[in-house]
Structure 1
Amino acid sequence: MAKRTPGLEKVVSIIPKAIHELGPKQEREFYQHWVLWHWEDIVGKAYAQNVKAVRIEREVLYVCCRNPAWSNETRYQMPRIIQKVNNYAGGEMIKDIRFSRSWSIADWDAHDAAADTTARASEAPSVPEVNVGRERAKMPLDAADIKAAETVSEGLEDEDLACKLRQLYRKGRQLDKLRRARGWKPCPTCGHLCPPQAASCSSCRRKREEDVRARIRAVLRDIPWARCKEVCEYVPECTPQLLNEQRAALVQLMAAKVAVNDRTSMEAKTLVMLYRCLPPDKLTEDAIRRALYELRFNMYWPPDYKMPKRYEAIPLRHAQKRQYGKRAAQAKSQQAGAEKAENAEKG
């Protein structure tokens, strides 16, 4: 029996073809968003709940981790995650993973609170959603507000633009009155309205968090080996998570400026002290060699530089030496046997 709709394709096969016809740039952007949308399917539910994929830029995936433990887990699992993302995207989508500072602890708390609220809402009986626009339109404006709206548009020759500006100003005043009626209070720093449960507005909170981060980075630049207890003497608001985030950010920034074969400059030694939390009296040649070898992919590579073998940078143990010697001897004997057989065939 013939098909009722011969020649028709499924949607799952039509969409990739349509995206491909738009061009390589649009196709790559589509699959970048595709990876972010299906982040949980790629890495698993437990990992996605603690590590958020933020964006993909220039073949680099930026993620935010809930705490230092998940940051370390991401570093250890980085090759496996890169391979999973590329396999899911069907090509080489990313080459590296870096940590983003766009999310803060407050954002994670708000994310958890929203998830808990959603879970409780799914269990509790449904509550009708409040239409904020309708409630805002009910708020009356006094004569002063109307006069201020007219003053805002003075000097504009375009009447349509002036009308839109007056309308926007009136809506803003109505929204402020609605928020005050719901218990919103002025921010003690800037005066903007903030929710009743918040101590300050989101803008002031971000500025305060960025100031704390900047002070922590300043301490690490002066004392690269400082730990949380020592940093708290200068920045009381410092936490282990904030310290690890700023340390990782400074390590990436400094590593990009240090050559991979540089082991004697002050910048290279500072980078090792920052990465290993080593004071100057414990900084040895072996520690510098091992740390720079681990950071080799984040550092500057001079032209015609050849990366050494691992056992050349990190000495092998006795058992490893014996095993490596056996493999080398076997390879040498196999090569000699092949040469002998080749000479015998020629003779």
Structure 2
Amino acid sequence: MAESIDDVLDKALRNLGISKKVKKTQILNTWSKVIGEEIKEHTEAKYFDRGTLFVNVDNSSWAHQLLFMKENLITKINEKLKEELLTEIRFKVGHISDEQYNFAQQKKNRIEKEDLNKAEKKELEQTANYIDDDNLREKFLNLLTESRKTNKWREKNNWHECPECEVLIPEFKDKCSICELKENNEQLVEKIEQSLYTTPWLSYDKLAAKFPQLKQRDFDAIKDNLAQRLETKLDEMMVLALEGEIDKQKLRVLVQNYVMLETGVSPENLTDRLIEKIIGSNKMKIYNNL
């Protein structure tokens, strides 16, 4: 039976004693092809030794997140190589080269160059107009604009919706980070949600100190999800309050927790004016009668 070109080349490389060096190079090159741009911004494959790929990561949050993705990445790399060369990936927080840093900057510049049409700009301006403070409104509008440009860039680069929550994710990923986090460590998500429910004013930095694997965007997603659930529960309890069928103290606590979660304000700084701003005047009338 005739040998394939790949078999012939592999045999020739082994005879020349350079097969291992070539395979090491293949592994390093394949890493950047398989991981996609999002991870490429923060990582650099350094070397490969006896089945293990050693990867530098620019911060601890990404290093922890990549641990959840490790098995999937190993499978994808071996599939790309058409050979079971990789058995382990070890992530280490460390320096990434100027080339990788420049890649991240280039991506940021490409996103900034995305154009928004007049209708999109008007929509974002209308969204921001409810903020009275000029400086705060401008910052919020800039944030909305950056988010819209990022989504347009992602759509152009074949990002797709996460099947669980519909946020845009890179082509190589099956689910977004928060859904992967829930799938791989539901207990961790539950602990973070419990911490936010009992102390809703906690910031990301304080929770990340307790849960080092927590990323900012995962924190935001968990917090938003919890806020939506509290808001739904609040609406239900407000209706029951009108009918006199609710524990008034329980509803007061729910209102306060919801407002602190939305604003990050601690209990000693919670005011009736702030509560009314968040829940609205109609619900405030019910709240004042509790």
TM-score, normalised to structure 2, is 0.32
Report the structure number with the largest CA radius of gyration: 1
TM-score, normalised to structure 1, is 0.27
Relative contact order, CA 8 A, sep 6+: which one is greater? 2
